[in-house]
Amino acid sequence: MDSTIFNRRTLLGSGALLGLGTLLAGCGQQANNEAAATASAAPSETASTSAAVSESPSASATPSTIRGYSGQSKAPDGEYRKADGYGPAQNVPKPPSRKQYPETQEGALNMINDWTIAHNYAVQTGDCEYAKAYVKPETDEEKFYGYVERLYKRGGWIINGLDKYQLDGQFIYDEKTKEYTLMLKHIWEFVMYVEPDGSYTEDTNTAEGDDSGAYILKYSDGFWTVVGSLSQEQLKEKGLLK
C-alpha cells in the first residue's frame, strides 16, 4: 500500500472510534436475523454467497455474521445513507463517466473533481471501475482500488474515507517527461476499514501541515490521467515546496 500523504486510505493504525465497538457488536444480531430471513426466502443464493466468502483465507467469518444495513435497516430506494458500524453506505449515487477536458489547469482540476467523486463512490460501494478509469494501471492509486474491491468482496466495508482537494501551489509542466505536477491540499477526516469478522483499522487526520502534496498527470487525446503522486517531503526535495 502507498504511504504518501495523498493515500490516507492506507492502513496506518488501529483504534476505536467512539461508539463503533458497540455498533459492530450490536449489528451482529441484526445481521444474523437478516441472514436467517434470507435463508428461508432464498436458500440457494445464501449458500452461494457463503461459499464465495469462504475462499478468502483472511476472512474469519462470513459477511452475514457481521455486516447488516447502515442505520440498522434497509434504506428505501433513492435514500442515501452513509456507512456506519452496522454496514456500508446505501444508495450511493453513481458518478459520471470520465469526461474530456482542455489541457489547462482548470481542465486538470475538473478532472480531479470528477475523480474524487468516483473515488468516494468506490470507497462507499466497492465498485471501483469508475475511479480506476482516471488512474494509470500499476500505480499506488490503482493498487488501492484493488484492495477496496477485495475488502468488499470478502464482506468488509469502509466507513467514511471520503476525500476532497483544493489547489495548493503550482501547476508545472515538464517538457522532458510530458507530465504535469498539480499541487493540492488533501482534505479528509478519518477512515475505518471494517473486516467481515468485525475487526477494523482506523486512520484519523490529526497531524498539522502534512496534507500538501501533488499528483503527477498526463494529458492525451482530451483526457487527463493520474500517473503518480508526490508527498510533501518529495516536493521539498525537488525544491517545489518550502
CA distances from 62 to 21, 46, 123 (A): 19, 11, 20
The predicted-structure confidence for 197-229, as pLDDT tens digits, reads as follows 888 998 888 766 568 899 999 999 999 999 999
For residue 210, the model assigns a pLDDT of 60
For residue 198, the model assigns a pLDDT of 86
The predicted-structure confidence for 5-46, as pLDDT tens digits, reads as follows 344 444 333 333 334 544 554 454 444 444 443 333 333 332
How far is Cα 102 from Cα 111, in angstroms, rounded to an integer? 10
CA distances from 34 to 30, 31, 63, 99, 240 (A): 6, 5, 11, 40, 54
pTM for the full predicted model: 0.77
For residue 209, the model assigns a pLDDT of 52
For residue 212, the model assigns a pLDDT of 85
Mean pLDDT of 85-111: 97
For residue 203, the model assigns a pLDDT of 86
